[in-house]
Structure 1
Amino acid sequence: MKEEYDFSKARKNPYTNKLKKQITINIDADTIDYFKSQSKFSGIPYQTLINLYLSDCAEKKRQPQINWN
């Protein structure tokens, strides 16, 4: 093993500009179950799926549509 490594020509991590922040959020059990079932189908962890969905909503500036009937 070398004593020193040269990382001057190393590629930059493309994901460093999208750092995540850990939060606490209350989500209905049915919603979590839905994303867990989607996770089994897609092979993507359910928390990642939830993040992808919320990111898509934020990017497209979707407004919540709530119907209290």
Structure 2
Amino acid sequence: MKANERQLRKAGRDVERDRRELEREEKRLELEIKKLAKSPANKDAVRLLAKQLVQIRKQKTRTYAANSRISRMIV
């Protein structure tokens, strides 16, 4: 029991760490998109970064769901 809970808590911390990393990446991408959007020549680059941003947000949502499942298993 205790070993199981220990592993679940560790997995929860790992998911939290991944989510924080995704949030940092999201902020970095937002700033880069804003910077590139100022000139119309970078339209393709902005579109590519926007797609990456959407993927990161989806991934972040998945980490919330995963952490929720892990915390339910601990209780």
TM-score, length basis structure 1? 0.27
Structure richer in helix, relative to its length: 2
TM-score, length basis structure 2? 0.25
